[in-house]
Amino acid sequence: MRRLRRFLFWLGPVLVLLVAILAAFVYWVVASSPGSRWALETGVGLAGGRVAQVDGTIWAGLRVGELQVDTPAVKIGLADVNLVVDWPALRDRRLHAQNISAGKLSLDVLESDEPPPEDQPFALPAIPVTLALDRIALGELNVSLNGEPVLARVKNLEASLALNAQDAQLVFRRVLLGQQDIDADVTGEFRLLALADPWPFSLAIETNAKSSVPDSLLCARRFLPGLPQSAETAAAAPSSGEPATELDAISTFCAVDLKATAEGSLDAVSVKLEGSGQDMTLDAAAQLAPREPFPLRTARLQLGLSDGASVNADLDWKSGGDADQVNGQLTVRQLNLTGLAGAGLPEALLSSSLTFAATLKEKTQLQAADLTWKVNEGSRWNGQPLQADVALAIRHTAPVAPDDPGFRADNLQLDVRLGSHQLKGSGRLGWSDTQMQLALSASRLADFWPGLPGGLSVETRLSGAMAAHNLTVKGQYDLNQPGGNTLGEAPVVLDAQVEGGYTARPDLPSAWSGRVTRLDIGHAGVKVDARSPVPLQVVPTAQAPAWLLDVGATKIELALPSRNSVVIDHARTLFSPGRWSTRGDINRLTLSKRIIDEVTAMIDAASPAGGDDRGRVILDVDDRNDLVEITYALNWDFAFEGALSGAAQVRRLGGDMIVPGDPPFPLGLRTLQADVRARPNGNGSSRIDVDINVDTVKMGRAQIQANTLLRTTPEGGFYVSSSDATTVNVSADVADLSWLSLFVGDATDIGGRLTADVQARSRPDGSWQTSGTVSGSDIRFVRIDDGVRLVEGTLQAHMEGDRFVLDSLEFPARRRAIPKEWRTEEWTRANPDAQGGKLTLTGYWDLSDQGGKIEVDLYRYPILQRSDRFAMVTGKIGVDAPSERLDINGEITVDAGWVDLDMLSSVPTLDSDVVVVRAGKPPPKAAPMNIGMNISVDLGPRFYITGYGVDSGLVGEMRIIMDDGRLSAYGALRTRGGAIEAYGQRLQLRRGTITFQGDIASPVLNIEALRTGVAVEAGVRVSGTARRPRIDLISYPEVADVQKLSWLLLGRGPDDSGGDAALLFSVGTSFLGDGEPFYRKFGIDEVSMRSGELGSVGSILPAESVVRGLDSGTSDIERQFMVAAKHLASGFTVSLEQALSDTGTVGRVSYRLARGLSAQLSAGTVNGLALIYRYVARD
């Protein structure tokens, strides 16, 4: 006992000391800054975190600059923490925090591999104290999952919380939420009226959201650019007319104000939502049952626009014992769909109402539904009034097949009216029984959608069940061309009937099988008719190797208006996405010129811009060729599954082909066959082999073999890549090349025989590697109009790489036309040097560069042979034709030549500015070519010119040069003897020189011709240039011009009486001019000089019968006068007579009444009217 008493004696002071120490420690921790900092650092450190910048005390208020806690589940980061707690209030079992705030809170939730705990019913634990948080503030909240942000931005949170055993209250004084470019300012209050099930509560939230980016998700006009604007919005828009979504007035154009309230519990909640902004208003209310599978009970929505348009919706869900009843209505009033959707829709204004009533079993299974839709008066579409009435009743039925959805549509009534157009339908649609009729009458499809051409009328009828039904379609598509009967204008008429059924079996995919029992299509007299039913099968869920579509064997007839037809014997076509196959043939395809003309006439009538071909003479052979027919047979069998495979063939059965020419002629076919084969080659490509075989009676034969790779596009199309090699082998023996004349025009005749054995292979760069030989015999190139006759030619050529090498093309000289000029004819016929001539061509042509070089070697070759011209030449000419340029260089000498000027002038020609084309066709456009030329021409010693009274030789040399499109010449040509016959005289050419000094059209002239053998040798001298020639009269010895004319024309001097003056005047002016009297250039038909009585009418009686004096007589010179006359019309002549020795003037009009009888009216110095009859006796 003593020891116990002593132990207790010392224990008491020790306990008191310990309590004092503990109290002092607690006070140090709570009330001192070092103690609070130590306690916080120690506690956070034990939790695996760190803390910094601790200031204050726990009792008076604590401030923490940074706090970081990392756990395996979450990382927590706090900055600028401030904590102020009223600790004495704990004595009343009340935790009162005056301020809990943080500048930033970051939470990073880390995913864990541990399975989540099982869900447990939520139960609020017992709260020992009353909680009162006066201020909860947070500057910024960042929440992320494994480092990735998962929540919107949260800033400037300021709230308060009150919690006790009976209820709780959370008040948001302000919180700023952000997502991308949208910022929302939220205030609200949430109250729990009881802290137990069913958790009654009330909620009120107000939100103001806005965006500073015009294309933000918050901006309604981003999605609805035509949203109507209110007066305030329009006034705020800039005068430049920019769209509202591009404005900077964010508060007006991209802002929304929302107010939401909710009141109730988890058993029933009443929700209201009110909103406004961006020229829209929203008013919505709903009654919810959150714990039900479908929580909505009633709902109401009203959306209003600034232009008065509105959208109203109502929904009522009534629960019953066995079924629920759902009723709803959607009403649209004056809604401008065009403005809302933008430019994608035509003009559309909608006022409509949609009502429905549905019965649901077990809240999810539809048992029945009645739907009506009405488009009210005042609605418009594409500028046309729109009205519609649609009624439909849906009923649940017991499924009779695995794919039966268990519903049928009864009492379908469809009546849509757009302007004068109408779509009507009625009937019922079900798995076991279907009866449907649809009729569309639309005379103008452009009223339905802008730009749609024509009009359409269709009637369809569907009857039967899914297992066996029948569909008929009758319709007509009209292009709105009244009276149109051509392709593209005439109506398209369709009459089709389909029968079949849908089958579903557990062991096979569901499929529709049937056939098209009738198919008639007509357009502009062309008819397409299925001569037998077309089997069809569609398997929507088909998987390879099954096919989605299977079209069976049938015969399709295509007939023209003339009743000529072709029958396509279709065997089978299969199709699935990414693969297909087709097989068929045409046993007889007969073509003739009449059939082709009929088809082309129909095409030309549909596109009249092609014009009429009237530019040729119609011959009898054309009509005979119209009856010539050729018959083909075609067959094909192709398949595609990543690559093309199969074969096709076209072969001639009989008849002949007419070659289009002027006139056309039969080709004389014996064999014509083309075979195409395709074999898969891997990597989505196919090897294509083409074999063409042609054999004719007279023109020879040809065989062409080609092969290439055909590649496949991802979309299923085909293309040939230039990087793939293509090989072509040509073996031809052409017996007659006359068909080439079709390509060079009627003025050129080409003929001969050609043999070719050529191989070609393409390169990746687009060029070709070729080999082989080409030979020919009896080659003929004739241009009759130009006198060019190249005949009996032999050809030797070969292919070398990318080049066609002309080893030799030689034409022997053959005299085909005998020149009329005797010297030229005698020399070319009898002189040995004129024999053995030839023309040889050698060179090459690059196929890829489209350029080459040709050397022409001529020796004593008659290059021109016509009855009016002849030229035999010797020389060499080189033709270098690089790309886009032609260079011609060489030297030639004329061995013998002759030109008849009379024949050249007698051939009628058109001026160079006249172009003859076929009717309706534009004139051909000549492609510009850069031509360079440098040719030296020596006329030699035997070149003659005859005609126009000229008979002379011509010698000399000249060089013709062309550069940059300018043609120039240098050299001189001179006459060698000869004479000119003019006005019945033979003038000797004493001098004749034509000098070229550049411009080929304006050489320098120096020509002199004299009449010889008389006392005075008179003549003409021509000098100057060809553009500005000067003609002078000359004589030896020099005399007056009047005497020169007299000695030139008459061979003597002029008559002293002056009687030769008129003749010399007329002839002189025409001689010095261009061969036409000068007065004709002024429109005067006759100018002459006469002697006699002025104004005389040709009477045989003298003007004076009495002698008035000894000196009253006048000489003939004194009575001379000049006459100028003009013939106005048939029989009318107007003339003027002017005396030369006095002032007398007489005007006269004469008219020829009959042969020898005329009437004359004179006025002037002599006036009168005379009737004159002349008779000339021939003795």
| Least confident piece of the model among 803-812, 938-947, 1051-1060 | 1051-1060
Residue 620 confidence (pLDDT):
47
Sign of CA dihedral 23, 28, 32, 36: negative
How many Cβ atoms sit within 10 Å of the Cβ of residue 741? 17
For the cut 80, the answer to whether the pLDDT of residue 978 exceeds it is no
Contacts of 549 (CB under 8 A, 6+ apart): 536, 537, 538, 573, 574, 575, 576
| Least confident piece of the model among 470-479, 785-794, 934-943, 1047-1056 | 1047-1056
For the cut 80, the answer to whether the pLDDT of residue 258 exceeds it is yes
Please give the mean pLDDT across all residues of the chain: 81
| Cα separation, 824 vs 812, whole angstroms | 20
For the cut 80, the answer to whether the pLDDT of residue 931 exceeds it is no
**Dmax (CA) of the chain:** 219
Percent over 70 (pLDDT), the chain: 83
Residue 914 confidence (pLDDT):
59
Per residue in 383-428, pLDDT (tens digit) is 899 999 999 999 988 887 777 788 889 889 999 999 999 999 999 9
pLDDT band of residue 1082 (cuts 50, 70, 90) is low
For the cut 60, the answer to whether the pLDDT of residue 1069 exceeds it is no
Per residue in 192-234, pLDDT (tens digit) is 888 888 889 999 999 998 988 888 888 888 777 777 777 777 7
pLDDT band of residue 251 (cuts 50, 70, 90) is very low
Residue 9 confidence (pLDDT):
63
Residue 851 confidence (pLDDT):
83
What tokens appear for 25 in the block?
């420690």
Residue 661 confidence (pLDDT):
61
pLDDT band of residue 913 (cuts 50, 70, 90) is low
Per residue in 38-81, pLDDT (tens digit) is 888 887 787 778 888 888 888 888 888 888 888 888 888 888 88
For the cut 90, the answer to whether the pLDDT of residue 689 exceeds it is yes
For the cut 80, the answer to whether the pLDDT of residue 112 exceeds it is no
pLDDT band of residue 748 (cuts 50, 70, 90) is confident
For the cut 90, the answer to whether the pLDDT of residue 1156 exceeds it is no
| Least confident piece of the model among 352-361, 592-601, 1141-1150 | 1141-1150
Section 964-985 average pLDDT: 78
pLDDT band of residue 559 (cuts 50, 70, 90) is very high
User: What is residue 11's three-state secondary structure?
Assistant: helix
Residue 579 confidence (pLDDT):
92
Residue 572 confidence (pLDDT):
95
Residue 339 confidence (pLDDT):
72
Taken as a whole, the chain contains a residue count of: 1179
| Residue 5 phi, psi dihedral angles, 5° rounding | -65, -40
Q: How far is CA 724 from the centre of its chain?
A: 28
| Residue 628 phi, psi dihedral angles, 5° rounding | -75, 130
| Cα separation, 618 vs 222, whole angstroms | 70
Own/partner pairs, 248-254, CB within 8 angstroms, 24+ separation:
250/210, 250/211, 250/212, 251/210, 253/214, 253/219, 253/221, 253/278, 254/210, 254/211, 254/212, 254/213, 254/214, 254/216, 254/218, 254/219, 254/278
Residue 196 confidence (pLDDT):
83
For the cut 60, the answer to whether the pLDDT of residue 187 exceeds it is yes
| Least confident piece of the model among 72-86, 660-674, 678-692, 957-971 | 660-674
Q: 591 or 1120, which is more confident?
A: 591
For the cut 70, the answer to whether the pLDDT of residue 431 exceeds it is yes
How far apart are the two ends of the chain, measured CA to CA in Å? 208
- DSSP letter (8 states) at residue 740: G
pLDDT band of residue 883 (cuts 50, 70, 90) is low
Q: How far is CA 807 from the centre of its chain?
A: 46
| Cα separation, 186 vs 208, whole angstroms | 7
Q: What is the pTM assigned to this prediction?
A: 0.63
For the cut 70, the answer to whether the pLDDT of residue 812 exceeds it is yes
Task: Give kind and range of the element (H or E) at residue 33.
Answer: helix 33-46
For the cut 60, the answer to whether the pLDDT of residue 912 exceeds it is no
- Residue pair 901/925 in contact (Cβ under 8 Å)? The answer is no
For the cut 70, the answer to whether the pLDDT of residue 529 exceeds it is yes
| Least confident piece of the model among 182-186, 412-416, 692-696, 923-927 | 923-927
- DSSP letter (8 states) at residue 115: P
Reference 679, options 704, 653, 646; nearest CA is 646
Q: 1087 or 786, which is more confident?
A: 1087
Section 566-588 average pLDDT: 94
| Least confident piece of the model among 466-480, 544-558, 867-881, 1086-1100 | 1086-1100
